[in-house]
């Protein structure tokens, strides 16, 4: 009978395999490729056109899978076979194996608190910095993959698992081996404390002594907190799905408290917390990233950007792992510079302005590596020599490169150096329209605390001659929907960004949430009113209702977290004032009386 051994890495699977192998009726394989072979067979069977052409059935697939399993161990005489592999707990794998073999498979798995598993892998790798190791190590990826696979498989089919906790295995091996015997329905066997380790070719993994056991069965007693550091140790607390203990609830972290204070407008408290954390952990990039916003709020653009840039190390800023085999640009003149665009569409409309700085002030030829849907607009911008898709950036000839969201740093710019003049042209004369956009990607807007009810926008602008700048009729996410345009609002085709540029060109005013439309309209010099939360995106960190980035933009700031009435009330009043300027004071008096009534 064949069973499956599939454990969380560094949780004692080699020890359990060696103990099980003491039974004369049992064979435990070293790490096996059986799961991968069966997976490849299944994928080929399902995807190959010849399967349909030959009218092949699932029964044929199951016979082939069964035949492969039997052939794999046809040379073994032991009645109990354990195949050791990481893929068996996958729910689809378990379901396919049940169909193939005619009965649910049985999986034995060792488990261990994740903080200890991570720390143990770090020791094996000789790593000293937990965060850096986790970002780059394939062993960490493998560990997290295996953990998630066992967790999801166990949560769906718990009766098909026998989970062995590492601490119980090393303190009472006999009891845990008896549990395995009961799970398999076979007789118990007394274990021998002098064990012969199962063979495993560690050279295949490139890690010396990866599976080497200590001569004596005992707990390693890893000081995971010391190895991982306090922050990462706390991060990996909980998640013991095999335990009846209540889920671990970590105490509020200072960064979370600081964020909460900032979201409610208590910037003084938020900054005090960050300063204290900076003293305790000056090397913490998350603290530095958050401090960057407050430096910008104080008017220190350069210093703020340098702190924000440290967020790249935590995948908090810019494009993760962006890099080229050429040096970064740092003020060199008369050279070819690739500016690799980052972030969302709004970030790219904002950052593309710096092509002019590179070309005019430094004599550089600027190549833009960006999103092809934006190329028709980007090629209109002064300083842009040529455009290449992100995927092709590595294959063009350039001397230096620059990540667009950090271009401020090597350019050495402060707020006083910025120009708010337009740099993207209008495509037609305005038609006295008010362009309206009320949401970006719902999940991202919710994450950024800037998702508001569309009715607030509709009620505010309903007396205007409006044109929708909201792309698509309906966009769904798990938790939110983007409301469709009301019937009284013109809805032009916005299939491309050029369509959006044309629609904005028809507008005298754009009223929008903080999305790509806000930056595109501002860059075009169209009067633009942007609704932003109390703790806004870093580009709006400087206090006030104006921004040095765009002369034509006015900011309407939320005044109370979770409540959007104030900015829309202010917009309504400004719309009335705008009509008064346009049509005379009598209109304003009548409208104001109507609102008050």
> What is the distance between the alpha carbons of residues 175 and 169, in angstroms, rounded to a whole number?
8
- Its sign, for the CA torsion 102, 103, 108, 111, is positive
Q: Where are the alpha helices (DSSP H) in 73-201?
A: 91-101, 114-125, 130-136, 138-156, 166-171, 173-184
Position 43 scores a pLDDT of 92
Q: What is the pLDDT of residue 215?
A: 67
Q: Could you tell me which residues come within 8 angstroms of residue 71 by beta carbon, excluding any fewer than 6 positions away? A: none
The strands making up 161-165's β-sheet, listed across from edge to edge, are 26-31, 80-84, 2-5, 107-111, 161-165
Please state whether beta strands 2-5 and 107-111 pair in parallel, antiparallel, or not at all (unpaired).
parallel
Longest Cα–Cα distance of the chain, Å, equals 100
**Beta bridge partner(s), residue 369:** 340, 388
Summarize pLDDT for 321-366 with one digit per residue, the tens: 788 999 999 999 999 999 999 999 999 999 999 999 999 999 999 9
Q: What are phi and psi of 3, to 5 degrees?
A: -125, 180
pLDDT band, residue 299 (cuts 50/70/90): very high
Reply yes or no on whether the pLDDT at 473 is more than 80.
no
Q: Report the distance separating Cα 269 and Cα 253, nearest Å.
A: 14
Q: pLDDT tens, 57-73?
A: 999 999 999 999 999 99
Which two three-digit tokens encode residue 80? 């109990």
DSSP letters spanning 571-589: HHHHHHHHHHHHH-HHHHH
Q: What is the pLDDT of residues 202-224, one digit of tens each?
A: 666 566 656 666 667 777 778 99
What is the pLDDT at residue 502? 97
Start-to-end CA distance of the chain, whole Å, equals: 83
389 vs 378: CA distance, rounded Å: 12
Q: Encode pLDDT of 489-511 as tens digits.
A: 999 999 999 999 999 999 999 99
Adjacent-strand bridge partners of 435: 467, 510
Round to whole Å and give the CA distance between 376 and 526.
19
Yes or no: say if 468 and 500 are a contact pair by the CB < 8 Å rule: no
What average pLDDT does range 238-266 have in this prediction? 87
- Residue 430 has what pLDDT? 95
The chain-wide mean pLDDT, for the chain, equals 90
Percent of the chain with pLDDT over 70: 92
Tell me, what's the pLDDT at 479?
A: 40
Q: Is the pLDDT of residue 558 over 50?
A: yes
**Helix count (H) and strand count (E) of the chain?**
26, 15
C-alpha angle with apex 472: 470 to 473, nearest 5 degrees? 95
Taken as a whole, the chain contains a residue count of 597
The predicted-structure confidence for 69-120, as pLDDT tens digits, reads as follows 999 999 999 999 999 998 999 999 999 999 999 999 999 999 999 999 999 9
pLDDT of residue 221: 78
Per-residue buried b or exposed e for 26-44, using 16+ beta carbons within 10 Å of the residue's own CB: bbbbebbebbeebbeebee
Residue-level pLDDT at 476: 41
The Cα-based distances of 423 to 54, 325, 363 in angstroms read: 61, 31, 18
Predicted confidence band at 251 (pLDDT cuts at 50, 70, 90)? Answer: confident
Residue 187 and residue 203 in contact, taking contact as beta carbons nearer than 8 Å: no
Kindly give the interhelix angle for 565-583 and 454-461, rounded to the nearest 10 degrees.
20
- Of 87, 148, 144, which is closest to residue 121 (Cα–Cα)? 144
Please report which helix (H) or strand (E) contains residue 437, including its range: strand 433-437
Q: Which residues, other chains included, contact 81 with Cβ-Cβ below 8 Å and sequence gap of 6+?
A: 1, 2, 3, 26, 27, 29, 73
Q: Which two tokens stand for residue 282?
A: 């000056």
Average pLDDT over residues 521-539: 97
């Amino acid at each position: 009978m064949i069973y499956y051994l599939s454990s969380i890495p560094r949780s004692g699977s080699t020890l359990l395999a060696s103990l099980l192998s003491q039974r004369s009726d049992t064979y435990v394989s070293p790490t096996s490729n059986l799961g991968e072979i069966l997976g490849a067979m299944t994928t080929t069977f399902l995807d190959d056109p010849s399967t349909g052409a030959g009218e092949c059935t699932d029964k044929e697939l199951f016979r082939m899978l069964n035949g492969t399993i039997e052939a794999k161990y046809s040379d073994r005489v032991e009645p109990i076979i354990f195949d050791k592999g990481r893929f068996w707990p996958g729910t689809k794998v378990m379901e396919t194996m049940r169909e193939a073999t005619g009965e649910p498979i049985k999986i034995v798995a060792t488990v261990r608190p994740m903080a200890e598993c991570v720390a143990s892998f770090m020791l094996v790798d000789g790593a000293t910095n937990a965060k850096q190791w986790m970002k780059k190590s394939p062993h960490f990826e493998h560990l997290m993959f295996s953990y998630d696979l066992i967790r999801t498989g166990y949560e769906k089919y718990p009766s098909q698992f026998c989970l062995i906790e590492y601490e119980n295995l090393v303190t009472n091996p006999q009891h845990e081996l008896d549990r395995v015997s009961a799970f398999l329905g076979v007789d118990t066997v007394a274990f021998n404390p002098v064990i012969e380790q199962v063979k495993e070719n560690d050279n295949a993994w490139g890690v010396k002594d990866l599976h080497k056991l200590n001569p004596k069965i005992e707990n390693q007693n890893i000081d995971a907190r010391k190895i991982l550091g306090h922050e990462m140790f706390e991060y990996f607390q909980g998640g013991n799905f095999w335990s009846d203990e209540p889920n671990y609830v970590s105490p509020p972290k200072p960064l979370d408290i600081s964020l909460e204070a900032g979201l409610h407008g208590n910037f003084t408290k938020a900054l005090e917390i960050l300063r204290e954390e900076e003293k305790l952990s000056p090397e913490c990039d998350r603290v530095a990233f958050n401090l960057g916003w407050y430096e910008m709020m104080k008017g220190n653009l350069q210093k703020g950007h340098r702190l924000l840039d440290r967020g790249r190390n935590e995948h908090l800023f810019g494009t993760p792992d962006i890099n080229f085999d050429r040096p970064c640009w740092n003020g060199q003149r008369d050279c070819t510079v690739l500016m690799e665009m980052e972030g969302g569409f709004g970030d790219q409309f904002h950052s593309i302005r710096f092509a002019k700085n590179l070309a005019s002030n430094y004599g550089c030829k600027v190549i833009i590596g960006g999103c092809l849907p934006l190329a028709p607009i980007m090629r209109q911008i002064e300083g842009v020599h040529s455009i290449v898709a992100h995927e092709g950036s590595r294959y063009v000839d350039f001397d230096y490169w620059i990540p667009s969201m950090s271009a401020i740093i090597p350019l050495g710019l402060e707020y006083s150096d910025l120009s708010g003049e337009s740099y993207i042209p209008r495509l037609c004369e305005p038609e006295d329209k008010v362009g309206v956009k009320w949401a970006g990607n719902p999940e991202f807007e919710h994450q950024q605390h800037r998702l508001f009810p569309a009715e607030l926008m509709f009620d505010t602008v309903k007396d205007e001659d409006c044109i929708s700048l909201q792309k698509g009729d309906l966009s769904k996410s798990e938790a939110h929907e983007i409301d469709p345009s009301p019937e009284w609002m013109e809805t032009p085709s916005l299939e491309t960004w050029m369509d959006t540029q044309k629609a904005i060109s028809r507008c005298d005013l754009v009223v929008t949430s903080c999305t790509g439309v806000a930056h595109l309209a501002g860059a075009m010099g169209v009067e633009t009113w942007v609704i932003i939360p109390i703790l806004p995106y870093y580009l709006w960190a400087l206090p006030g209702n104006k921004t040095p980035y765009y002369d034509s933009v006015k900011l309407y700031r939320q005044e109370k977290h979770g409540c959007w009435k104030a900015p829309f009330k202010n917009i309504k009043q400004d719309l009335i004032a705008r009509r008064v300027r346009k049509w005379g004071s009598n209109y304003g008096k009548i409208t104001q009386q109507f609102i008050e009534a």
